[in-house]
A = this chain, B = another copy of it.
Amino acid sequence: MHKYRLFTPGPTPVPDEVLSVLSQPMIHHRYDEFQEIFKNINSKLSYLFQTETNVLTLTGSGTAAMEAIVANFTDKSNVLIVSAGKFGERWLHINKLYSNNTFVLEKEYGESVESNEILDFLKKNKEIDYLFLTHSETSTGAYTDIKEIAKSVSGFNSNIKIIVDGITAISAHEMRFDEWGIDCVATGSQKGLMLPPGLSFIAVSKRMWDIHNNKQSYYLNLKLAAENLKKNLTPFTPAVGLIVALQKALELIEREGIENVWARHEKLSRACREAVCCLGLELFAVKPSFALTSVKIPSKFSNVFDDFLRKFKAETGITLAAGHGELKGKIFRISHLGYYDEFDIITVISALEKFLYKNKCIKSLGAGTTAAMNVLFK
């Protein structure tokens, strides 16, 4: 017997106390009861993003939130997209669809952009109004230093709006929306928020509302969402069940303290990386995200999904994630985003050791788990 364990970067595991809220009877979204919950949630979401402004809640996946930002706040604009993976490319595809004039700063998969590269680019292309970044590139497991980039870019030209895909970064990486001067950050419910998928969230800076120009979107009209939010309502029937459960999930984050949540993710990710390296495996991302660890597949396994992940699941009960697109056959990904503690890392590393040992990739047991413990318990 093996317990069912999920180590994927979305959906991520949902705490039992949140799952139990999901089986409560439906309430109606136009009654006080809902408004009180939504009000409570909104102050907690502001805390999560470290902002004084209200964070908008949409019913839809993180991609809906990304599209909403482009649809509502850009209008045939000059945009620079930093792309080093599938989700950077998603910014590009959405911007092209909305007829923005797109510039691309492309990095190799697994790499991260540095602020001086962006500054060099901006110096050569003075017409750029928007900078689109990916805080944690889920497809490669690489992290981008948003704080440093925001500082450099606003020092260079404070009119450039900084837009961040924070979908797998929020709660894993420090995010101080107001202090850092970010203009938009999007995230999804099934990530660091420890909920099932179905909701997404957008923080919007004050100056963005002055340039709000919803071109064509009805369902993703953020002005409408913002106006309704003032009354603790949503313009369309929201995923009520997820919103009620969100209150509980945000309570857990608040109780732990957001700085502690960030620190936990940093520590768990460091332990996971150390352990993986001690098992003779190679990390994929140069600057790894705290949300997930991407690992090059040992040459022994010709097919990641069939040869590795499926068998790993059968032998351990643990679900890991494959690579995306061109990385499909090259990497596997271990998530530590959201509801994970130190013993979960011990579990997944010991499972990996077991699997590598049984497949004759390593000759003895204990190196990975010991390495993780040295990070976690000292």
Contacts and interface: CB of A to CB of B under 8 A. Distances in A.
A197 interface: yes
Q: A8, A11, A218 — which one has the most chain B CB atoms within 10 A of its CB?
A: A218
Contact of A238 (B6, B13, B61): B61
B93 A197 contact: no
A97 B224 CA distance: 14
A196 B236 contact: no
A197 B34 CA distance: 14
Interface size grouping (class) on chain A: 35 or more
A29 interface: yes
Interface string A4-40: 1010101111100001101111111111000000000
Interface string A246-276: 0000000000000000000000000000000
A188 B26 CA distance: 15
B216 A216 contact: yes
B6 A188 contact: no
B25 A242 contact: no
Given A59-B59, A94-B218, A11 B23 contact: no
Contact of A23 (B23, B25, B60, B220): B23
Contacts of A239: 196-198, 239, 242
Q: A23, A61, A241 — which one has the most chain B CB atoms within 10 A of its CB?
A: A241
Interface string A291-311: 000000000000000000000
